[in-house]
Structure 1
Amino acid sequence: MHIGIITSEFPPDIGGVETYAAEFAQALVQLGYRVSVFVHTRHHPIDLPNITIYPVLKYSRHLDRSILREYDVDAWHVMNAAHSWIALETDKPVVVSIHGNDFLNPYPLTGRPGFSENPKLWRFASLLHPLDHWLGKILTTCQMRQALPKARALLANSRYTEQVFLARYPACQGKTVVAQVGVSELFLNSRICKTRNPVPHFLTVTRLSEKRKNVDKILLALGELKKEYAFSYQIIGDGIYKAELESLAEELGLKEKVDFSGRLPLERVIEAMTNADLFILPSSILLDSHEGFGIVYLEAAACGTPSLGARQAGAVEAIAEGVSGFFVEEPTTENIYSALKNYLQDQITFTPENCRAFAENFTWDKVVQKALPFYS
């Protein structure tokens, strides 16, 4: 069977959905399926064994439907709700993975007419682009309301995501399946450090482009803790708020304690997770954005490292309280300060073996098995 995957997130780009799409595709190949991945024309394909990557899409239904008709697949799997329009254009089975932000605040704007990319209108491209974007914001949501109920199945990455999705798209009742996510073998096969660092080492891995990640509040909490405790803190990731966060760290007198590492290759991320004492990412819920699950908490656990998260959204399912991490009820500076102080005072302890054992419950084979019945 030939499975066509449509995605706007795929390596070498970094992120939870990028990881999901690549790992899902590789799990299908391991089960003997033929897999083709369709991405944007600007995408720089990477080599994945036995997976063909086609950088042919414009992320516009109007422009892409004729392109995809040229490819013979047995079923489509869409990795972002905004691409669900394919269910309106094909008689082949369509499965859609939903993550949270993809249906709360649709991206990319696949409903846009694509005026600015019409070769006959190239002279007016700069003028047509704003119109294209404005129409895309309106039409993408309308398109999703038509297309999502026509999918064979909708794979939710958490029970929380399923609940939020059905509240917004009640016409999809009965089509959702909670498949959750998996953890890469690269993390599960990493070495585990048996002892804590002499100076506690904290770690955050995230894109520095979303305020709801609350990295600023972590820094503010650490700014208070530095008066009483020794520690180091590494932030892996890049984004529009990096410079602002670097300035805040300097203002708080944390320049010597905080390392802004930027983007790092996967092997360096695994090394950092293995060497950290505690992973910190207390994300908030916003009206148009939330942590649908949080693969990164599982990745840290797979490396034997516990996490501090906020008891909100999908993080509740990604962290086993008392086993692979703990929570703040609300991600405020005061709560983060108190939680880290309790950790530094050894009032909260974890074992690397228990962290990994929890992560081992999440495999990509289990996720893919939830989709297989709907491809036929």
Structure 2
Amino acid sequence: MSQSEIEILFVSHKYPPSVGGMEKQSFELINTAALYLKAHTLVYDNKESILTFFLQLNRRILTKVKENPGIKLIHFNDGLIASAASFHKGYRHIKRAVTIHGLDIVFPFSYFQKKVIPRFNAFDRIIAVSQATAEAAQLRGIDPSKIITIPNGVDPIQVPAQVTETNSVSKPYFITLGRAVKRKGFSWLMKDVIPAIQGDFKLLMVGPFDHEPTWKERLLHLMPAKLYHLMTLFMGYPTDQQAIRKLLKAHPEKIQHLGKVPFEQLKSLLTNAQAFLMPNIEVAGDMEGFGLVCLEASTAGTIVVASELEGITSAVTHNGNGLLLASKNQNAWVEQLQAILADPAHYKKLGLQFKQNTLKQYSWDIMARSYCQSFLDLCQ
């Protein structure tokens, strides 16, 4: 059986018009895989409640399968929707695969870990986005013979021939990008690293950020600690905001949070930065599944300095397409960033070399073809 003869049903609740890393991965997988095989879809389009989508899913899958008897495999886009599908009935004769991204396998809710995760063994293939995610699945009792690792792809950031700075920053700067969740390590970087670096520079932070506490934040802080942890993990809530606000006030001359910025400005900010920083730290019950933002920064020609932690190591190889440092090692981080400030030309040249390595190793097409080959292997 060739790939072109395979019919796959892709089931996803993370899909445009919603915006996010998982939505992007799901979109690129489905649309690129459709170039190589016949793709059917059941995706959440925001035209109904997400609860309705989940409640109607079993019936809709059965309808799709009846209408398209050539479907040989059903792919679920993450562990959450796979958890629901593990209770479905009526299509167990069809091969089933699921992609796991990180948090959807380590989420520290006792019932989920003890009762739901073991049900993943009923799936025929578990596709992890990183080696760290694959190892987390194995530690939770998922059959290692069913697990393969397929890294995500990346959209290359197209930089104009003449890049102009759009933030009117006149001094050298480092940049971070992402939501203010604790695992990102932003407050640790602001507290333990940036004040210890000598020289005239700034740390620019980009991403969703509330400069003042919101009612939702105040409400969440009224919860017991364990419930707060579970709720904020499930919601992807920015748990580091409170600490970041205090540190912004403590170091206004060194650190600036820009919030969300237009994409054109972000491209310019990344391209002109001395380095892109991803200082992740360990947080119980959470993990960085892959580290896609590192690849995006690398495609802008900016050198990436990241923690050697979790799924980041599947996106960044030390001295291959970035620099990896031990998480929370203050001396290592200060020394490396000081060296970048001291010799920006060297590290800019290195960043451009790393960019070429990233472009060679990671693309949505490479990812999709790897998925298609996995599907072919299962269906033969």
By the TM > 0.5 criterion, same fold? yes
Distance 2:240 2:304 in 1: 23
Contact 1:225 1:341 survives alignment (8 Å)? no
Q: Does 1:184 align with 2:155?
A: yes
Q: Alpha carbons of 1:274 and 1:223: their partners in 2 closer, same or farther (altered >3 Å)? A: closer
Alpha-carbon RMSD: 3.2
Which residue does the alignment assign to 1:18? 23
Contact 1:193 1:274 survives alignment (8 Å)? no
Match of 1:349, SS state, is helix
Distance 1:216 1:333 in 2: 13
Which residue does the alignment assign to 2:227? none
> Deviation of residue 60 (structure 1)?
8.5
Aligned partner letter, 2:277 = I
Distance 1:137 1:63 in 2: 26
Which residue does the alignment assign to 1:368? 368
> Deviation of residue 259 (structure 1)?
3.6
Aligned partner letter, 1:24 = L
Match of 2:296, SS state, is helix
Contact 1:23 1:184 survives alignment (8 Å)? no
Distance 2:292 2:204 in 1: 21
Which residue does the alignment assign to 1:280? 277
Match of 1:76, SS state, is strand
Which residue does the alignment assign to 1:68? 61
Q: Alpha carbons of 1:57 and 1:92: their partners in 2 closer, same or farther (altered >3 Å)? A: farther
Contact 1:191 1:303 survives alignment (8 Å)? no
Contact 1:192 1:304 survives alignment (8 Å)? no
Q: Does 1:163 align with 2:162?
A: no
Which residue does the alignment assign to 1:217? 188
User: 328, 336, 339: which is aligned to 1:339?
Assistant: 336
Aligned partner letter, 1:291 = E
The alignment's TM-score, normalised by the length of structure 1, stands at 0.75
Aligned partner letter, 1:69 = L
Which residue does the alignment assign to 1:52? none
Trace 1:257-296 onto structure 2 (pairs within 5 A): 257-296=254-293
Trace 1:1-376 onto structure 2 (pairs within 5 A): 3-31=8-36, 33-39=38-44, 44=46, 57-58=50-51, 64-72=57-65, 74=71, 75-85=73-83, 86=85, 88-89=88-89, 90=91, 91-105=93-107, 138=111, 142-146=115-119, 148-170=120-142, 172-185=143-156, 187=157, 189-191=158-160, 199-208=171-180, 210-221=181-192, 223-225=194-196, 228-238=199-209, 239=238, 241-242=240-241, 244-254=243-253, 257-346=254-343, 349-351=347-349, 352-360=351-359, 361-373=361-373, 374=375, 376=379
Q: Alpha carbons of 1:79 and 1:267: their partners in 2 closer, same or farther (altered >3 Å)? A: farther
> Deviation of residue 350 (structure 1)?
4.5
Contact 2:202 2:255 survives alignment (8 Å)? no
Match of 2:64, SS state, is coil
Aligned partner letter, 1:165 = A
Distance 1:82 1:141 in 2: 15
The alignment's TM-score, normalised by the length of structure 2, stands at 0.74
Q: Alpha carbons of 1:23 and 1:268: their partners in 2 closer, same or farther (altered >3 Å)? A: farther
Higher relative contact order (CA 8 A, sep 6+): 2
Distance 1:76 1:268 in 2: 40
> Deviation of residue 340 (structure 1)?
1.6
Aligned partner letter, 1:102 = D
> Deviation of residue 195 (structure 1)?
11
In the TM superposition, what whole-angstrom CA distance separates every residue of 1:261-287 from its partner, at most 9, and x where no partner exists?
323454443343223221111112333
Contact 2:129 2:152 survives alignment (8 Å)? yes
Match of 2:34, SS state, is helix
Contact 1:99 1:161 survives alignment (8 Å)? yes
Which residue does the alignment assign to 2:220? none
Q: Alpha carbons of 1:245 and 1:313: their partners in 2 closer, same or farther (altered >3 Å)? A: same
Contact 1:199 1:231 survives alignment (8 Å)? yes
Aligned partner letter, 1:273 = L
Q: Alpha carbons of 1:163 and 1:244: their partners in 2 closer, same or farther (altered >3 Å)? A: closer
> Deviation of residue 356 (structure 1)?
1.7
Q: Greater CA deviation, 74-83 or 60-69?
A: 60-69
Unpaired runs of at least 5, structure 1: 46-54, 107-135
Distance 2:292 2:107 in 1: 20
Contact 1:273 1:303 survives alignment (8 Å)? yes
Contact 1:27 1:365 survives alignment (8 Å)? yes
Q: Alpha carbons of 1:229 and 1:58: their partners in 2 closer, same or farther (altered >3 Å)? A: same
Contact 1:6 1:78 survives alignment (8 Å)? yes
> Deviation of residue 56 (structure 1)?
6.3
> Deviation of residue 199 (structure 1)?
2.6
